[in-house]
Amino acid sequence: MLKMFFNINFNLIVFIIISSLLNSCQFDMTHSLFNTSNSENILFFSENETSGFNNLNGNLQIGFAARTIVPINPTSLTGFGAPMRRLLPPDMTNIGNGATYCKPYTSIDKQPRVKAMLISGINNANKIGYYLLISYDVIAIPTDFNIKMMAQLKTTFPNLNLDQTNVQFVATHTHSGSAGLTENPFWAAAVCDRFNPGLYNTVTATTLQTVGDAYTNLSTPNAVDITNDQISGYNYSRFDGMQVDTNVYYMNFKDSGANSLGCFIAYSVHPTWYGIDDLVFSSDLAGYLENELQSVTGSKTCIFFNSTVGNASAVPLGDKNTYATGFIQEVLNKKVVGSTIPNQFQYGNLFIHLPNFKLNFAGCGLDIHGLPQSFIDAVFSVKSSSVTNNITKIAWFNIKGTYFFLFPGEPLYDVKIDFQTQLNKLFPGIQSYFFLSTSNDYIGYIMNSSNYTEKSMETCSTLHGPDTSSVVITGFMNALKAAGQ
């Protein structure tokens, strides 16, 4: 037994030691486990969350709004969990309502924002209904942030009848956004995201103000410009042997004077222009694309949604503005001008159960030698109860015949291929669709089981085992069936 123990791969031992240190050092021992003023410590979705579907019909109205996130104090950045972003020893002088374990930002570029798109129409109950999309310039949407923000929205806007079915939280996936919005200890350890009550209150207040602005801005569009095409040369696949998603979708809503009421764009690319060593508070590539769109269209608010982001990186084209200008110009060159406004908006959601939390040893390049896989899985299964309860949210909406499927993580292109196969089989009438990544929750990278054992950063960052993608895809198909699509 001792011989077997000392033969364990050195990398595995280092991995376990580092993981333990990160978990232990991220918490202020003078506070409760989650360092929170939230006495309930609600970290996960419950079995009783609202699932369903609905339609908005008739004279649809739309409202856009955006506000910048302005932290009271410099906050640490989430997105990279590397040692270069950590403070050793921690800063005990308190820039975040507690000891700080990660380096604060030192400069700002394209300041992160909260953006909202609100749609209203007549719902299935023949009453005015609403659908709300909120975009944040952050790495992802942790479950507990979703739950608490949802509660704030319900209280602040009771007339909108908001719930998990008609509200979606989406992250642009910038790796230079603010940390501190979640109380989940896994996030604190993995991506330098220890809970910061001051920042959380700032983002909450900014969100409520932004949604209020979007409600005030509701108006009836007269026409829409649409691009639904492919654009190459701006992203590439960082996963060997796998295609990258080059599809792009752009929609600009216009009033009777051809002025933009707001627009959104979906494309697959990692916003990582600012890397591990760059302590820059930034919306990164997403902000550059949004700013360029706003400049060209005259819109006050344009929103970037990340699509099949898992294996997509930006082609290095030098100057950031050059990249943004060239890309947006190609998007607008392909647009169809003055399309009729939609008279129906369909949407739905479903809460699903994922496979148990599982460390991908092969994908991480870890050799467990004599330790039984079942033993390791059992240990992680018990420990994972403080990380996840394996319940997550998926959602979809349909506007002008294009379906958008909101994934709670980072799907790779192989998932899109499998998804297309199931869609063709069960819903051949759906010809146009897009993924929206890092929405409502975060369950890691999502990939086809055939690629699960490939050694890469993406496979190592899967959290629920090789069957995750098939479970998520089946969930989407079931949600569409329930809605009668």
Sign of the CA dihedral running 263, 286, 430, 470: negative
Domain ranges of the chain: 32-344
| 328 Cβ contact list (under 8 Å, min separation 6) | 289, 292, 293, 296
d(CA 73, CA 341): 44
The distance of Cα 112 from the centroid of its chain, to the nearest Å, equals 14
Closest listed residue to residue 131, CA positions, set 141, 121, 143: 121
Q: Nearest 5°: phi and psi at 392? A: -135, 170
Give the side-chain half-sphere CA count within 13 A for 264. 23
* Cβ partners under 8 Å of residue 29, min gap 6: none
**Cα angle at 271 between 246 and 422, to 5 degrees?**
40
Nearest to 54 by CA among 137, 130, 138: 130
Task: Give residue 459's pLDDT.
Answer: 85
pLDDT, position 38: 41
Find all residues with CB under 8 Å of 407, minimum gap 6, and list them: 394, 435, 436, 437, 438, 439, 446, 472
- The whole-angstrom distance between residue 272's C-alpha and the CA centroid of its chain comes to 14
Residue count of the chain: 485
Q: Indicate the DSSP class of residue 16.
A: H
CA distance 447 to 453: 11
Question: Of the ranges 69-78, 330-339, 431-440, which one carries the lowest mean pLDDT score?
Answer: 69-78
pLDDT category at 3 given cuts 50, 70, 90 is: very low
Answer with the residue of higher pLDDT: 46 or 38: 46
Mean pLDDT, the chain, rounded, equals 87
Closest C-alpha among 4, 2, 42, 57 to residue 399: 57
pLDDT above 70 (res 26) = no
* Pair of tokens at residue 167: 């509200």
- Please give the model's pTM, rounded to 2 decimal places: 0.91
Choose from 85-89, 105-109, 302-306 the range with maximum mean pLDDT: 302-306
Each residue of 309-352: pLDDT tens digit?
999 999 998 899 999 999 999 999 999 988 899 899 999 999 99
Q: Are 384 and 356 in contact (CB under 8 A)?
A: yes
Share of the chain above pLDDT 90, in %: 65
Amino acid identity of residue 206, one-letter, is T
Tokens 């970037």: give the residue: 304
The pLDDT, as a whole number, for residue 2 is 31
Instruction: Quickly state the pLDDT bin for 354 (edges 50, 70, 90).
Output: very high
Mean pLDDT, residues 208-217:
98
| 347, two tokens | 């949407």
Question: 10 Å Cβ neighbour count for 42?
Answer: 14
Q: State the residue for tokens 């595995």.
A: 12
Could you give the CA distance from residue 263 to residue 323 in angstroms, rounded to a whole number? 19
* Helix, strand, coil distribution of the chain in percent, nearest 5: 30, 30, 40
Task: Name the CA radius of gyration of the chain, rounded.
Answer: 22
The residue among 80 and 217 whose pLDDT is bigger is: 217
Closest CA to 289 of 311, 270, 308, 312: 270
Residue 396: name the closest of 425, 435, 427 by CA: 435
The per-residue pLDDT for 358 is 81
Report percent pLDDT > 70 for the chain: 85
264 forms beta bridges with: 251, 303
Q: How far is CA 243 from CA 305, 413, 416, in A?
A: 20, 6, 10
pLDDT of residue 407: 98
Residue 400 is predicted with a pLDDT of 95
Q: Which tens digit of pLDDT belongs to each residue from 137-170? A: 999 999 999 999 999 999 999 999 999 999 999 9
How crowded is residue 449: how many other Cβ atoms within 10 Å of its Cβ?
Answer: 14
Q: What is the pLDDT of residues 227-283, one digit of tens each?
A: 999 999 999 999 999 999 999 999 999 999 999 999 999 999 999 999 998 999 999
State residue 97's pLDDT score.
Answer: 53
| Residue the block writes with tokens 């209280």 | 155
Mean per-residue pLDDT, 403-418: 97
Inter-residue contact 355 to 472 (CB < 8 Å) = no
Classify residue 88 as left (phi > 0), alpha (psi -120 to 50) or beta.
beta
